[in-house]
Amino acid sequence: MISLHDVRTDSARYGPLAYVATVSSAGEPHVAPVAVAWFGDSILTFVRTDSRKVANLRMNPRLSVHFAVGPGTNWDSCIVWGNAFVVDDDRGRTELWDKMGYDLSPFEPGGPTAATHVFLRIEPDRATILRNYGIAGREQWRR
């Protein structure tokens, strides 16, 4: 078993982009690319309030975050599962506004109190790191 710190360290190799998978009330999977950032032991992403991701998570907070596979990481990947909390209040958005590692203003010119964007705060409860698609091994973490 590895630690959550190991997962955070490994996920940094993949860069700030990942795929978030949610499920609709009808059971339809939805996968979307997002920018992510670690904030303590949580993963953050900044998304439109009216996105399908947010609608799905308001009904079912379970999701997965898949850090992309590629030649730059020797085809390793990191998948994190957990619960997402939609941070849609002014205080929460203001607290997280500068935590993504890039300027959010081009995406939300109205600033942190504009209601058109929210943060997803993902609380991981398990993760798997696959080395070379799993051929070279797999490492797991559970809360």
pTM score above 0.85: yes
pLDDT digits (tens, 9 = 90+) for 65-104: 999 888 989 999 999 999 999 999 999 999 999 999 999 9
Q: What is the pLDDT of residue 22?
A: 98
**Looking at the domain 4-142, which fold is it?**
Pnp Oxidase; Chain A (2.30.110)
What does the pLDDT look like over 14-49, one tens digit per residue? Answer: 999 999 999 999 999 999 999 999 999 999 999 999
How would residue 51 be classed by pLDDT, with cut points 50, 70 and 90? very high
Q: How far apart, in Å, are the Cα atoms of 117 and each of 79, 93, 97?
A: 25, 9, 11
